[in-house]
Amino acid sequence: MSEVKKGDKVKVHYTGKLTDETIFDSSREREPIEFTVGAGQMIEGFDNAVVGMKKGDTKVVEIPSEKAYGPKREEAIITINKNQLGEGLDPQVGMQLEATQPDGRKQILVIQEVKGEEIVLDGNHPLAGKELIFDIEVVEVH
């Protein structure tokens, strides 16, 4: 049985948790995720974790934020005027909004605070700045 190496296509099941044991995602109730190792389809720490594993192997790996979604960036937190949102929208903390970047990419912004006519939006990935723990099982290597 061959070990996983960069360039291999793999299917894995995983459960992702925060350091407080809160589960933020799992493939266990659906199909395993398939990706090419080293192709940049996964966060760096997850990609690196499967290298050397074999079909049927399991592993628990802790991934620091730098190898996951990066640190929380203050410049990704912006304040806008409520009238920039459009008619009929009642902004609430935690609500997600989609914005289009100048280069055409879509970005999710989360309302962090509503204060009078101002709204504070956070463009960081929800897992930015967090250490992640993954329970990984290699299902297929090809």
What fold, for 74-122? Thrombin, subunit H (2.40.10)
Under a CB-based contact definition with an 8 Å cutoff, are residues 43 and 67 in contact? yes
Distance CA 103, CA 99 (A): 11
Instruction: Return the DSSP state at 131.
Output: -
For residue 46, what are the contacts with CB-CB under 8 A and spacing of at least 6?
Answer: 14, 61, 63, 68, 134, 136
The CATH number of domain 9-69+127-141 is 3.10.50.40: yes
Mean pLDDT, range 54-75, rounded to an integer:
97
Which tokens belong to 70?
């990066």
Ranges of each domain in the chain: 9-69+127-141, 74-122
Mean pLDDT, range 23-47, rounded to an integer:
97
Can you say how many angstroms the Cα of residue 98 is from the centroid of all Cα atoms in its chain?
16
The per-residue pLDDT for 88 is 81
What pTM was estimated for this model as a whole?
0.84
pLDDT tens, position by position, 96-142: 999 888 899 898 999 999 999 999 999 999 999 999 999 999 999 99
Which tokens belong to 39?
């192709």
